[in-house]
Amino acid sequence: MVESGDWLFPHRGIELYSDKPPMLMWLQAAFHTVFGNWRVAFLLPSLLAALGTLWCVHDLGRRLWTRQVGLYAARALLFAFQFTLGRRRRRSTRWSPSSSPLTNYGLLRHLLLGGDWRWWTLGWFAAGLGTITKGVGAIALLMLLPAAIASVRGWPRVRLHARDPRFWLGPLAFVVAVSLWLVPVLAAALSRELPEYRAYLHDILFRQTAKRYSQSWDHHQPVWYHLGGDAEHVDPAGAGTAPGIAGLYGGG
């Protein structure tokens, strides 16, 4: 992106890279443009995402309960092994969840604290950014389903405010965030009329999203395989996987 100036279509070598939307690559390229250092460019998005997530957890705990609860929650997250390890991996899989805490934070500020339309709108916008970082970014919006049930049943402090016209600011913000990438990439790919760009659109819009979950090609075990407590082991030589922990230690 930095060398070619083509920020719309990520490449891996000379091939179009359609495994992920380009949000993380945009951030890394932008930070490299500012700082001129690739190590900083790769690490800084994960660091900022981690700090932002900790702030969301702390502030929400403080507002819903007490300042001490907020500090305990943030410390518990900070010392969670997967959280700290994941933020050092510099992957879109690790960065995109930062948009989910911001989505959760914004929606919960609205749902539980008397209605805050600015945070409601920002939460939806963050879900859109998560979607163009990794296609599953919109999953955080599913929290609205139990919130709607709680609001209808009259649970204390839970209000969806669905009858207010400002409710639709949220979905509109989501569409705007996704369109920041989707509209120009569709326009550019369709105007070039080249088969590789049509293939890019098909792969990133269909194969990497809906088909990945309905007909997964990279998960070789059934869903219930992970319920048995077995650990997947990848052979360093690339020979495949072993079925469980017993196999790692020579057990029967």
Give the pLDDT confidence of 224-251 residue by residue, as tens digits. 776 764 444 444 444 444 343 333 333 4
Task: Answer whether 32's CB lies under 8 Å from 80's CB.
Answer: no
Measured between alpha carbons, how far is residue 185 from residues 34, 180, 219 in Å?
A: 25, 9, 29
Q: Return the structure tokens found at 58.
A: 């702390």
Q: For residue 148, is pLDDT > 50? A: yes
- What mean pLDDT is predicted for residues 212-224? 64
Phi-psi region of 90 (alpha: psi -120 to 50; beta: other; left: phi over 0): left
Q: For residue 59, is pLDDT > 80? A: yes
Per cent of the chain over pLDDT 70 is 78
More confident residue, 211 or 32: 32
Q: What mean pLDDT, rounded, does the chain reach?
A: 82
Q: What is the DSSP letter of 21?
A: -
End-to-end CA distance of the chain: 51
Rounded to whole angstroms, the Cα distance separating 50 from 88 reads: 10
Confidence of residue 218 (pLDDT cuts 50, 70, 90): low
Query: How many other C-beta atoms can be found within 10 angstroms of the C-beta atom of residue 34?
Result: 11
Rounded to whole angstroms, the Cα distance separating 210 from 204 reads: 10
More confident residue, 64 or 207: 64
More confident residue, 164 or 246: 164
Closest CA to 112 of 141, 162, 151, 59: 151
Confidence of residue 217 (pLDDT cuts 50, 70, 90): low
- What mean pLDDT is predicted for residues 135-139? 78
Residue type, 86: G
Task: Answer whether 53's CB lies under 8 Å from 84's CB.
Answer: no
Task: Answer whether 92's CB lies under 8 Å from 133's CB.
Answer: yes
Task: Answer whether 248's CB lies under 8 Å from 230's CB.
Answer: no
Q: Is 180 exposed, middle or buried (0-12, 13-18, 19+ CB in 10 A)?
A: middle
Tracing tokens 């992970």 back to the chain, one arrives at 226
Closest CA to 103 of 140, 59, 53: 140
Q: Tell me what pLDDT residue 86 has.
A: 65
Confidence of residue 81 (pLDDT cuts 50, 70, 90): confident
